[in-house]
Amino acid sequence: MPSSHPPCVVVVDAVSTAAMYSPRLRECGIRTVHVSTNRALPPGLANTYRPEDHLAHIVFRGDFAACLAEVEAYRPMAVIPGHDPSVELADALSQSLGLPNNGTELSVARHEKFPMQEALKKAGLRYMPSYSVESWEQLDGLFPDSLQLPVVIKPNASAASDMVTLCRTTEELKQAFGDIYGKQNTLGVVNDCAVVQPYYAGVEYCVNTASCAGRHIFTDIWRLGKVVGDSFVDDRADILAFEDADEAMRDYSEAVLDAMGIKYGAGYISIIIDDEGPVLIEMASRLCGQNPTRITEATLGISQVAATLDAYVNPTGFFERARKPYTMSKRGALMSLISPRTGTLKSLPRWKEMEKLESFFSGHTSMKPGAHIEATRNLHTSPGYVNFVHSDPAVLDHDCAMLRKWEREDFYTFV
């Protein structure tokens, strides 16, 4: 590679929110080299990849030494994972190149649900007792000595509540196991096991972080509303002022990052707080997948994308951010769209009216007339999202409620 090439950062699987790395780095005169883990991605993820954003494209074909040699030729400043299945390769590349890294010992625990709970247990932190099962007979044998209904069953590696099911009966559990085992999930990974955990009732939070040399900062913290049925449907997520976020939750989140060996990069932490305090649902050493960048920049003046890039290419800027917590200038809420039924979409007659609501900030849907739309059962079957921003919480509440009212009535029309 000619020495005239500009400084570069390697992004492994630049999909979902990680697609924002390249444009942000290019503004600083830094290009990106893309490494693909060569997995078959679902269309929703594959469509977020923009090949024109990158200086070069490298495909990992199972030969680590060959991939390492190709990457090393570009003399990167950093290697960053783009989503969950990218973590192991990104960790191995960054460690082998002597770049800022989290090591490889806990790579699997940083993106698979069973090992991450085991890592918490080993670290002496509160964890969810978890069981990895590969057959119905193995799962059925856990009752009643180890487990009692209700339980939650999920793939070992997945995201956005994909295939996560609350089961109140053994019949529901058997059906859910059959729907998971051996099936491909939304990350493009075939589920070779299922993870079963007790059901924890409480308030759910999303904690987004960035880390540099073992120092962690909170970029944004959200209180999540869920519609709990057989599955978990995202309803409304509200950004919390730093001082409104439970101190025990913040302390626990930092302890989780340390237990998972995260010293550099983004952290996504999903937590439930019940009567006993905070407990981890799941975490990942990558950006929050719902891409809250625009709304956090409008309300907090910060984004996880910017803070993560600082951790790798501008440590001075990172530690300047770390001097004080984020501050909130306006309130913000993210509403996942919830389709009440499955069918062929005719139109979204209320969309323009929704855009005129006082707190409307931005919205997105990929649903076009004539498209098949599913009844929403998780984030991946949501038709889109809407961001609301306003200084008055009452206005925010009114507009969020109005959207849900319209969805129950005539927000969607079907053929």
Distance CA 211, CA 287 (A): 12
Whole-number pLDDT of residue 159: 72
- Kindly report the CATH number assigned to the domain that includes residue 397: 3.90.1170
Same domain as 157, residue 52: no
Which CATH number covers residue 296?
Answer: 3.30.470.20
**Which domain-ending residue is among 101, 116, 148?**
101
Has residue 292 been placed in a domain?
yes
Mean pLDDT of the chain: 93
Is residue 50 one of the residues assigned to a domain? yes
How large a percentage of the chain has pLDDT more than 70? Answer: 98
Is 323 found in the same domain as 224? yes
- Give bridge partners of residue 221 from the DSSP assignment: 207
- Around Cβ 57, how many Cβ atoms within 10 Å? 12
Within 10 A of 39 (CB to CB), how many other CB atoms are there? 17
Residue 413 domain-assigned (yes or no): yes
The residue-averaged pLDDT of 45-59 equals: 93
Write the pLDDT tens digit of every residue in 145-174: 899 999 999 999 877 677 888 999 999 999
- Same domain membership, residue 291 and residue 243: yes
**pLDDT in the model for residue 226:** 80
Domain shared by 253 and 278, yes or no: yes
> Does residue 317 or residue 160 have the better pLDDT?
317
| 134 shares a domain with 35 | no
Q: Rounded mean pLDDT of 75-94?
A: 96
**pTM for the full predicted model:** 0.93
Residue 3 lies in a domain: no
Tell me, yes or no, whether 148 and 220 share the same domain: no
146 in the same domain as 259: no
Phi, psi of 275 (to 5 degrees): -65, -20
Average pLDDT over residues 204-217: 97
Query: In the structure encoding, which two tokens stand for residue 267, read together?
Result: 């952290």
Total of domains in the chain: 4
Same domain? For 255 and 219 the reply is: yes
| Last residue of one domain, picked from the residues 295, 313, 329 | 329
Residues 207 and 320 in one domain: yes
Q: Domain range holding 339?
A: 334-415
Over range 365-379, report the average pLDDT: 86
Does residue 301 belong to any structural domain of this protein? yes
**Statement to judge: residues 212 and 169 lie in one domain:** no
Q: What is the pLDDT of residues 87-103, one digit of tens each?
A: 999 999 999 999 999 99
Q: Domain boundary residue among 329, 359, 377? A: 329
Residue pLDDT, tens place only, 254-303 = 999 999 999 999 999 999 999 999 999 999 999 998 788 999 999 999 99
User: Distance between CA atoms of 74 and 142, rounded to whole angstroms?
Assistant: 51
Residue 124 within a domain: no
Who wins on pLDDT, 366 or 414?
414
pLDDT tens, position by position, 395-413? 999 999 999 999 999 999 9
